[in-house]
């Protein structure tokens, strides 16, 4: 964990993944703040960290809990490059780095736990994360002091997706100067869970730009072919 802290304080700052003002409080506000999330995760669980960024909380959980299998999901190349380098340097073998958006894994992968930290308001986070949650699994997100308001704003989405009653836990009390607020959302009835079909056939995550480019090329070709047929007629 100390080696990971060194990466964050050095390359993490240089590459713009963490602010320089955060370096003096890396341990309390970031590393330990994420590590206490492990209290809510069962033994040998598969965990997806959505919008992993610099690896918080996913890489922290991987180091603290070697029994877990972590998948770090991050769309930006500079961040996945950083994560891959850190994973290699630390020698952790329970981590997979996936470049892509969470929605690109819908219909392909499910996990016992889906985590996130400061990624999006709950309403959007549910749309991205719950399709990745296994029938007996749960979303476990790190949230702030406005978690109650977020739950209220997401009431319609929670009901539409078939989620159970959200549970809020405060972790690290009496241990950390800055406690962690964790939100857990499971399925209301695991037996009735259905997942969206895969976004595209025959593959996993890919960049959104590639798909748009391909569809644009195909569209232009179709238009040219139609014009050519009109001239022939």
Q: Where are the beta strands (DSSP E) in the chain?
A: 46-50, 69-74, 95-99, 111-117, 133-143, 167-171, 180-186
Q: What percent of the chain has a predicted confidence (pLDDT) above 90?
A: 77
**Average pLDDT of 25-51?**
96
Q: Which of 90, 50, 91 is nearest to 71 (CA)?
A: 50
pLDDT for the residue 212: 32
> Is 114's pLDDT higher than 80?
yes
Please state whether the peptide bond connecting residue 57 to the residue before it is cis, i.e. omega within 30 degrees of 0.
Answer: yes
Compute φ and ψ for 180, nearest 5 degrees.
-110, 130
Task: Give tens-digit pLDDT for 214-230.
Answer: 334 344 444 554 544 44
Q: How far is CA 15 from CA 70, 150, 215, in A?
A: 23, 31, 33
d(CA 119, CA 141): 9
Task: Give tens-digit pLDDT for 47-91.
Answer: 999 999 999 999 999 999 999 999 999 999 999 999 999 999 999
Question: What is the DSSP pairing of strand 180-186 with strand 133-143?
Answer: antiparallel
User: 130 with 139: CB under 8 angstroms?
Assistant: yes
pLDDT for the residue 199: 62
Tokens of 225: 């072919």
Specify burial of residue 47 (Cβ count, 10 A radius: 0-12, 13-18, 19+).
buried
Task: Give tens-digit pLDDT for 144-195.
Answer: 989 999 999 999 999 999 999 999 999 999 888 889 999 999 999 998 887 7
- Reported pTM: 0.83
User: Higher pLDDT residue, 20 or 229?
Assistant: 20
pLDDT for the residue 205: 58
> Is 14's pLDDT higher than 80?
yes
**Cα torsion 75, 76, 80, 83: sign:** negative
Q: Which of 144, 139, 110, 109 is nearest to 126 (CA)?
A: 139
> Is 122's pLDDT higher than 90?
yes
């Amino acid at each position: 964990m100390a080696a990971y802290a060194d990466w964050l304080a050095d390359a993490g700052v240089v590459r713009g993944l963490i602010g320089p003002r955060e370096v003096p409080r890396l341990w309390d506000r970031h590393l330990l703040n994420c590590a206490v999330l492990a209290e809510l995760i069962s033994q040998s669980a598969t965990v997806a960290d959505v919008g992993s960024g610099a690896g918080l909380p996913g890489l922290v959980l991987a180091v603290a809990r070697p029994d877990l299998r972590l998948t770090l999901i991050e769309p930006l190349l500079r961040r996945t490059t950083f994560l891959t380098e850190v994973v290699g340097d630390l020698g952790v073998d329970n981590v997979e780095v996936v470049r892509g958006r969470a929605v690109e894994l819908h219909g392909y992968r499910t996990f016992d736990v889906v985590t996130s930290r400061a990624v999006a308001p709950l309403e959007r986070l549910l749309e991205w994360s719950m399709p990745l949650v296994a029938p007996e699994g749960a979303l476990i997100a790190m949230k702030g002091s406005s978690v109650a308001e977020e739950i209220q704003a997401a009431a319609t989405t929670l009901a539409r997706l078939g989620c159970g009653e959200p549970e809020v836990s405060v972790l690290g009390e009496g241990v950390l100067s800055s406690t962690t607020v964790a939100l857990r959302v499971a399925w209301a009835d695991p037996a009735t869970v259905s997942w969206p079909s895969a976004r595209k056939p025959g593959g996993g995550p890919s960049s959104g730009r590639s798909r748009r480019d391909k569809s644009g090329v195909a569209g232009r070709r179709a238009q040219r072919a139609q014009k050519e047929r009109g001239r022939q007629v």
